Chain A
Amino acid sequence: MFRREISIEKEASNGELDRTLEREIKLARNIQMKLLNGNEPAIKNGTVSGISIPARLIGGDYYDFYLLPNGKLRIVIGDVMGKGIPAAMLMILTRGAFRSAAETTKGPADTLTAMNNAIYEDLRVLGSFVTVLCADWDPEKQELSYASAGHGLPLVVHSSQQLVDIPVAKGVMLGGLPDVVYNQNTVKIEEEDLLFFYTDGITEAQNENGDMYRTERLEKMLIENVDLDINELENVVTHSLESFTKGLPQKDDITMVIMKVNREKTEIASYNSPIL
């Protein structure tokens, strides 16, 4: 390691190191974007989509979908402590833990327990943590089960423009404590309801006066636009944030997963189902 560092110093004088770093960061960004923005699950009579906008070239936010053999869709959204390259590296660690856990665990709470067991030691050594919200969407029962590892709950908006008060599910962040057993809760989702999972980069976005966007503004905007389809909603949210911050540099990664249930029962068509 020491010899390699000396070698880099000798080779990379006069900006060569800068160019090498820039190239490698761009490659890292490509890797992250491809892993993060993979295929979205096709849902009959319903739609789901995610988007992540890093504050820097790469970021520490994370979302993912996983189709379970029982027909449910597992959704995860997470936020790694910190920003930039260090956060991006831990985001990949979190993704691996989720993908491994998703195959073998029964529900969102079990998934978070397995993820924490898998990465707790690494996160402690690094002095870091990750907040994660994991949810299972059951298209047959039209129920959403969810568990939280230090992450805010999703917003659920009814088509009658009312915010649905969903039961609390609290748990400690991944990397906070060893051997944590997480709890989950369940909410019935009505037809045409909107589900909005997000990271705090949205609610903590600041304008020139230092005021934050805040959850109340987000809720109001979702209520007013509940009739839009998910892609239109993504645009409305991002435009609203741009309008609020008036082009100020983005301070934190912004991530959202939007799901909408159509009038007829949803049916998950196909998406990376594990081979059993």
Chain B
Amino acid sequence: MYDTLEVYKKSEGNVCTLYVSGVLDYSTMDPFIKKIQEIEVSSKLVIVNFERLEFIDSTGIGAIINLVHEAKNKNFKVKLDGMNNEIEELFETLGVFQVMKSLLEVGG
């Protein structure tokens, strides 16, 4: 049995939302990277919706960190939405929120 990932992209105005469903890990990354590359240049806010995310490994988290750095460089915001307690705790331990706060908040 193989892990799978589905990513659905929805753009409204200058807000782009990525709905992530399944397992975001080393073996399933490609659809997520592809959708990130398709984000419109005009986007001012990218929302990653984790409501249907089952598992994320370090490679998946690396993609989120890279998205945040790209947001800093290209001047758009990133919001992580709908994550369960377990994933939120993991992101807290790794310092993902600290990276977001430092790079994307006013003055960052």
Asked whether A150 lies within 8 Å of B95 as measured between CB atoms, the reply is: yes
Chain B CB within 8 A of A213 CB: no
> Once bound together, how far apart are the Cα atoms of A152 and B94, in whole Å?
8
Assess A176 versus B26: contact at CB under 8 Å? Given A81-B58, A150-B93, A152-B93.
no
Which of A32-40, A65-73, A124-132, A227-235 contacts its partner? A124-132
With an 8 Å Cβ cutoff, the count of chain A residues facing the other chain is 24
Asked whether A81 lies within 8 Å of B62 as measured between CB atoms, the reply is: yes
* CB interface residues, A 169-183, toward B, < 8 Å: 170-173, 175-177
The proximity string for A residues 176-196 relative to B, scoring 1 for CB distances below 8 Å and 0 otherwise, is 110000000000000000000
How far apart are A219's CB and chain B's nearest CB, in angstroms?
Answer: 16
With an 8 Å Cβ cutoff, the count of chain B residues facing the other chain is 18
How far apart are B63's CB and chain A's nearest CB, in angstroms?
Answer: 8
Which residues of B lie under 8 Å from residue A79 when comparing CB positions? Answer: 58
Chain B CB within 8 A of A252 CB: yes
Asked whether B99 lies within 8 Å of A82 as measured between CB atoms, the reply is: no
> Once bound together, how far apart are the Cα atoms of A171 and B92, in whole Å?
9
Chain B CB within 8 A of A83 CB: yes
The proximity string for B residues 94-108 relative to A, scoring 1 for CB distances below 8 Å and 0 otherwise, is 111011001100000
The proximity string for A residues 133-176 relative to B, scoring 1 for CB distances below 8 Å and 0 otherwise, is 00000000000000011111000000000000000001111011
Asked whether A129 lies within 8 Å of B65 as measured between CB atoms, the reply is: yes
Q: Which residues of B contact A (CB under 8 A)?
A: 26, 57-59, 61-62, 65-66, 69, 92-96, 98-99, 102-103
Q: Which residues of A contact B (CB under 8 A)?
A: 79-83, 124, 127-129, 131, 148-152, 170-173, 175-177, 204, 252
